[in-house]
A = this chain, B = another copy of it.
């Protein structure tokens, strides 16, 4: 009978009734309509409902507009996990502007760099961090000289903080956040973006090696990843989410917007402690939280007086950021937390792969479960392409669990690109894939597992050693809290592993030599001889502002040790 011409079957154009741009802003409007009286955000004695949050966000957008902040503007927020940063995730894009949630652990000169690079039109800063912001702006002003135009400066008062910083900020001319909101209209009529590809957020990579890169995200991607993140976690309507993960990390892995989609409740947490986490579970009925493995470590090793156990109900935990040692996963599951292990980057809106749990794992011994769950897994729904490839040929590595390649990704979960950085964009988007820089294997079941960052691989006697593979068994001795392994120059083998170890607080560390020997002996019983660390160094580990280990500092130390040894020989 022939074909329906595309003229017929496809000539039904988009119109105002059947098409609208995807944006997470819709989630907020919906939450306010369906659950106007349900708690949206709880921060200490502050408690907002979804209707209130919606009105405050519209007020926020309206107030920005009165300051001529609109399409194309960037608004920086420097704050811990408090209500105002949550509101900024909606208020800023409702004004058409782009949100830059700044990492509060950065130093003033780095923040100065970011504010300059993004040309922030407004800086909204928590009172505790006002001096830091002021210093950052001072550095920027000195650098810019006559080109410097001071941004709109808003300070967020917080009842739980020392009032002195607030008083100081007000004296220095900042507008108090609530007063700033009062300048806006809670009935402000926001519009979805004309084009869903429009930018919604900008986040800077932590820059362990080079200067920070500005990752730009779209309304479309944020919408899709918010839903993906809820679906893959099995998060349901009305979830109670604890803000352990900083909102300034990839917009809280999209759970900022996602909690509005779920019409759930956000429990803010100014500072993350094991006690704070256990208390929030008991007090607010927290059902979900996200945390880096180091936080999980703190939770499982919390002193008895800080822990509230057994848990009143199953608590879902999502972890990512570094591969968690199986022993930590195991300890969490023993305490009644269900840990979903995910992996991703700022460039993929946060986690974009998950180690999807299989029912057939239920019957395995817990430590085997933990080992399976320590893998990075499979793609989120919105990440349409995930592979491990030989970057020279772009061919998939065999799914044999041993051949290493680079993790590459593509699809709607991938960023728009780096701000003002064509060179980095060209490199990271080469061959139609986003290049993660992470080295992994693909297992026979299709799950990927990170073996290392490209630069973290240890090459010993021509053999590749994954530093992660050396680290994992070193978590098993009960005295060990944290371990990181890097390459150390080795006269004979080129490189050999060097382990940096932090012991648990209650461990007697007077006999480091003996402990080191125990650890080496332990490792030797688990791994090939050439994988065994040649040196074990004790002490606290150097970390970046985002809590990531500064491997380059460890590498420098390891180099010195190699040189030392060499000179001794």
Contacts and interface: CB of A to CB of B under 8 A. Distances in A.
Sort A-B residue pairs by CB-CB distance and give the 9 closest, nearest first: A16-B432, A12-B417, A12-B416, A18-B414, A234-B236, A6-B72, A17-B429, A17-B410, A4-B119
A492 interface: no
Interface string A218-235: 000000100100111010
Contact of A30 (B4, B199, B238, B381): B381
A460 interface: no
A517 B197 CA distance: 64
B74 A9 contact: yes
Interface stretch (A33-41, A246-254, A368-376, A469-477): A33-41
A71 interface: yes
A364 interface: no
Interface in A233-264: 234, 236-238, 261-263
Contacts of A74: 3-4, 9
A124 interface: no
Contacts of A263: 356
A28 to B, nearest CB: 12
B16 A410 contact: yes
A148 interface: yes
A20 interface: yes
Given A20-B384, A433-B17, A202 B1 contact: no
Interface of A: 1-6, 8-10, 12, 14-20, 22, 26-27, 30, 33-36, 71-74, 98, 115-116, 118-121, 148-151, 192, 197-199, 202, 216, 224, 227, 230-232, 234, 236-238, 261-263, 356, 358-359, 378-379, 381, 384-385, 409-412, 414-417, 419-420, 425, 428-429, 432-434, 446
Contacts of A425: 12
B417 A9 contact: no
What is the total number of copies of this protein in its complex?
A: 2
Contact of A432 (B17, B118, B381): B17
B446 A36 contact: yes
A553 B34 CA distance: 38
Contact of A359 (B119, B238, B415): B238
Contacts of A35: 356, 358
A281 B263 CA distance: 30
Contact of A3 (B36, B119, B230): B119
20 contacts: A1-B115, A1-B148, A1-B149, A1-B150, A1-B151, A2-B121, A6-B71, A9-B199, A9-B202, A10-B72, A12-B417, A17-B428, A20-B410, A27-B381, A30-B378, A192-B384, A227-B227, A231-B262, A234-B237, A238-B359
A425 B11 CA distance: 12
Interface centre among A12, A16, A434 (most CB of B within 10 A): A12
A2 B98 CA distance: 13
Nearest to A386: B33
Contacts of A379: 30, 33
Given A16-B410, A434-B17, A237 B356 contact: yes
A412 B446 contact: no
Contacts of A9: 72, 74, 98, 199, 202, 216, 419
B199 A10 contact: yes
B419 A8 contact: yes
